[in-house]
Chains A and B, each alone.
Chain A
């Protein structure tokens, strides 16, 4: 087991915070290389702040008071400087924040990061084409990024980070404006990255997709890391809706049916698990 991200005792308050209220309080967590972590919690619970600290935006751009340490592959973030851009990709919550603002086509926008890395043009072209293909935006290649629909911009933003092929990807609500099929496609791309031993942190309110694809889930509430565990451990906690997190519909249905589960069974969090369990119960019911 290799630790990709190691956070020790992180606390942080934003510069404008009233009475120095902490956005994050005493977060210690180790995240393994090659795993897909889903981050859930209410709005304002600290999810995006946590991501910004790992990427070093805090304290580089946002001042305020930060204590504790973050190490990436064993090296403190503060010492990594420009290497961070190669090591870690960051997809912003607002896709318009991702756009360079200086490129007039989607193709050039997606190529922008690689150009800055000084990569040979032919390789840039290959990689950009592949990233655009993965994100289903080839037909937008010559369009102006600022003249696209919200969901299209979101896919361009994702492609412009994917193309950099970083070891660690931090993705803040990449599916909020995507149609359901495009949203699931993003998760499939992420699973493919996982098979290449990439580490992924993804913030999303879609607990159904997180349940289906993530290895582990981090639950934030009021600046605290409340839980870390498998989707089963975290998402079947009866209290998560009190923290603004949606109970996966499959879990809601099984609860609503009041089936008596075998004691050793995992409580379903995905559609597939719910279907399997109901079918088994149905079989038992009919043979009684």
Chain B
């Protein structure tokens, strides 16, 4: 299995801060990994993401992307392998229409014209933006604008995609579309990293969970192991998915994570 991203003993400190934002981070991501990062505000999730795509470099320790030291290759080169969707889409959007925004990265990459057209259309259709292609992104609601940012990254077809809080402000339609995009990337063998505070979304879409707190990685484990570990949950300021919370109060033993598992567990443990 190819290793896509490897962080070894990484510490990171922003120039004017008194303390490091990340301490002693070890993390390996292989091709096809689907990782969700959860944890409290200010715990270093977005900073970690920016170390994985070369926007930031370790203060000490090393970050390897595609086996290359992130310090030795230009960030533009890294962006061919790792796509990053910013938490605030307004930080990356600046064109007059949705289509032009998505085209920008494709043109920089100097792909053949036919391929550009194909990848543009594919990205717009996948994100449900086809009908908005001639609109100004800033006339769209913020949650839809997030999909513009997602389309710009999908269009470039990188091996690794990092989504920074894509679920923030999304309604159920938005969340369903996100699930679908992530499933599609999985089928294509891509590596996907999602930062999210929506525990229901995380537990329904991921089984590889990284928990962060106070500048460190607290745990990386399966959804079941993470969301049924009460001590871990309290320490990380996260919460169990609602379904788990109900099952805990009912004394369900089999530690269900999804609605389906909970339904089966409650029926068999309480009503059989």
Contacts and interface: CB of A to CB of B under 8 A. Distances in A.
Interface stretch (A70-78, A98-106, A144-152): A144-152
A249 B46 contact: no
B259 A179 contact: no
Interface in B39-78: 39-42, 46
A227 B88 CA distance: 32
Interface of A, helix, strand, loop or mixed by DSSP:
helix
Nearest to B236: A179
Contacts of A248: 242
Interface residues of B, number: 45
B46 A43 contact: no
Contacts of B144: 43-44
Contacts of B262: 253, 256
A212 B32 CA distance: 39
A205 B170 contact: yes
Given A246-B172, A253-B259, A278-B266, A94 B142 contact: yes
B79 to A, nearest CB: 22
Contacts of B165: 150, 177
Contacts of A252: 259
B95 interface: no
Given A180-B237, A182-B41, A182-B237, A249 B242 contact: yes
Interface of A: 16, 41-44, 48, 93-94, 96, 147-152, 154-155, 173, 176-184, 205, 208, 241, 244-246, 248-250, 252-253, 256-257, 271, 274-275, 278-279, 281-282, 285
Given A42-B171, A147-B16, A278-B270, 14 more contacts: A43-B170, A43-B171, A96-B88, A147-B14, A151-B41, A154-B41, A177-B197, A179-B41, A244-B171, A253-B246, A256-B259, A257-B266, A271-B249, A279-B250
Interface of B: 14, 16, 39-42, 46, 87-88, 90, 139, 141-144, 165, 168-175, 197, 199-200, 237-239, 241-243, 245-246, 249-250, 259-260, 262-263, 266-267, 270-271
17 contacts: A44-B144, A96-B88, A148-B42, A152-B42, A177-B41, A177-B197, A179-B40, A179-B237, A180-B238, A241-B172, A249-B241, A249-B246, A253-B259, A253-B263, A256-B260, A271-B249, A278-B250
